Amino acid sequence: MNIKSIVILIFILPISIFCQIDRTRSWYFGEGLKIFFTKDNQLNVKTGLNGVAGEGSGVFNDSSGNLLFYSDCCRMYDSNNSDVCTNFTLGSNGSSSQSSILTSVNDSILHIFSTSSVIYNTGFKNGGFNYSKYDIIEKKWLIKAMTLEKYSAETQAFVNHQNGKWQWVVRHSRLGDTLYSYLLTEKGLETCPVISHVGPFYDDWYPGQGKLKFSAAFPTKIRTKARIVNPSNPKYFFTDCFTIDLYDDDNYEKPKWFVHPTHDYNVDVIAIPFANRCEIPPLVRIFPINEYEFDNDFEIEVSDDVFILGYPFDLTGGKELPIWKRGTISTEPILDLDNLPKFLVDTATRSGMSGSPVIMQRNGFHRLNDKEVTSKDILGRIRLFAGIYSGRIGAENNFETQLGIVWKQIVIEEIINGQKLGGIDFQKI
C-alpha cells in the first residue's frame, strides 16, 4: 500500500464510523419515551411523544442523529409528533417483539416494515407482514400497508447488505423454522424473498417471542425467475419467482450440486439440477444456453470482444432481460491460468454479474483458415459461447485492474459429466 492510500484510509475510516454512530443517537421506546445520546456521551430523556407500543418500535434519524420519524405498532409520527398515517394503520400490534422497522437507502424514500403474529384480518387491516413506502421529500405515501404475507411471526430484523449500499429485512414464519429475507435496493423492495430454514422452530400459535438476531449461516435454497407465457395471448408474458432446493435432505448434509471432478471448489462454478424437461409446465419458458445456434466452427482469440449478460446492481434491460456489458479477452484463451481452465477479460463489471454467460462477438469476414476460401466462411457477425463469468480481480476498488475471470465452456461439460457432488465442510467455517 502506498502513502497516498494510507492517508486516504486514515481520514475516511473515522468519518464513516462517526456517521454510523450519529445515525443512532435518537431512540424511541414507545409509550412516549425518547432517549437521545449527545456527542459528549450525555443522556437526555424526553417524554411526551405519541404512540402506544408496549414492546417493539421503530425510529429513523438523519445523518446527525436528529429524530425524523418514529413508529409504534400502528402509526408513524414525524419529529413534530404529527401523525403521518392519517387514514390507515401500518398493520402490526403493540405486543409485537419488533413491530416496525423504518429504513432508507437514499434518505429520500422511507421503507416501513410491520409484523404481527395475529393473522391478517381484512376488517381490521392489521396482522401478518406488511410493507409501506413514504416519500420524505414530497411528504406523501407511495404504498400503504401492502400485505406481503398473512401469516408471520412477531419478529423481524434488519441488516446491511455486504456491498454497503443495499439492505436486508428478515422475518420469521409464524410456524416452523423458515426465514424470509427481503432485499432492499435503490430501485425499491424485491418482494420475492430468499428462503432459508435456519431459524428457531416455532410450533405453537403464539410464536416469535424475543428478538430475531443474525449469526453466520449458509443458504439452503436459491431463488430465480422464470418467464410465464400468457395463455390467452402467447405474445405476452410475465415473470414469476421460484426456488430450488440445494439439499436432498432436511439436515442439509446431502448437497444436490455438482463440483468440478478434478479441481473441486478451486473452479468457481457448480451445476445444480432442478427439473427434467417433462416436469416443466408448458407455459413456463426456459432458454438453455446450449440450445442456441452459435458459430462453433470458429474459436475465440485474445483481443476478441465479449459481452457479459447479467444484472449489475440488480438493473435489467427491461422485461427482466439482462444488461450486455462489453469486455475484451485479455489473456490467451488456449492457456490455463494458474493451471485452471480460465482466462481474463478486461471489463468494468459490477455486483450482480457473477454467474453470467459470456458471449464472444466478432464482426467482419471470418475464415476458417488462411489458405483458401470455403463455404463455411462467414461475412457479418459470429458469436460463440465463451464461458461463465465469476467475478473480477480488484473487486474491492472500482479503480483497480478491473480484470474479470471467465471459466471456459468446457468446465460446464466436465462438471455435468463428472457428477461429483459437492462437500459441506464450508458449513463449519
The DSSP secondary structure of 196-212, one letter per residue, reads: E--SPPB-SSS---S--
Inside any domain, residue 27:
no
Inside any domain, residue 237:
no
| Confidence at 236, pLDDT banded by 50, 70, 90 | confident
pLDDT in tens, 15-25: 333 334 456 66
Please tell me whether residues 393 and 301 are part of one structural domain.
yes
Inside any domain, residue 23:
no
Residue with cell 422511507: 110
- Using the 3D structure, point to which of 185, 217, 249 is the last residue of a domain: 217
List the one residue out of 320, 423, 317, 334 whose CA is nearest residue 386: 334
pLDDT in tens, 350-371: 667 888 999 999 998 877 766 6
Between these two residues, 376 and 89, which has the higher pLDDT value? 89
pLDDT in tens, 263-303: 998 999 999 987 777 777 778 888 888 888 999 888 999 99
Which pLDDT score, from 0 to 100, does residue 74 have? Answer: 81
| Confidence at 206, pLDDT banded by 50, 70, 90 | low
In the three-class reduction of DSSP (H, G, I as helix; E, B as strand; rest coil), residue 355 is classed as coil
Inside any domain, residue 109:
yes
Inside any domain, residue 8:
no
Please tell me whether residues 96 and 208 are part of one structural domain.
yes
Inside any domain, residue 37:
no
Whole-angstrom Cα distance, residue 58 to residue 28? Answer: 7
Structurally, the chain folds into a number of domains equal to 2
- Which of 16-20, 100-104, 332-336 is most confident? 332-336
Which pLDDT score, from 0 to 100, does residue 19 have? Answer: 38
Inside any domain, residue 7:
no
Owning domain of residue 387? 289-418
Q: CATH number, domain at 386?
A: 2.40.10.10
In the three-class reduction of DSSP (H, G, I as helix; E, B as strand; rest coil), residue 49 is classed as coil
Q: How far is CA 307 from CA 19, 28, 273, 304, in A?
A: 39, 50, 26, 10
- Using the 3D structure, point to which of 193, 217, 241 is the last residue of a domain: 217
Which pLDDT score, from 0 to 100, does residue 14 have? Answer: 33
Residue 177: is its pLDDT beyond 70?
yes
Q: What is the mean pLDDT of the chain?
A: 78
Pairing label, strands 420-421, 34-37: unpaired
pLDDT in tens, 388-413: 998 877 544 455 567 899 999 999 99
- Using the 3D structure, point to which of 217, 239, 263 is the last residue of a domain: 217
Please tell me whether residues 297 and 177 are part of one structural domain.
no
Whether 98 contacts 211, CB under 8 Å: yes
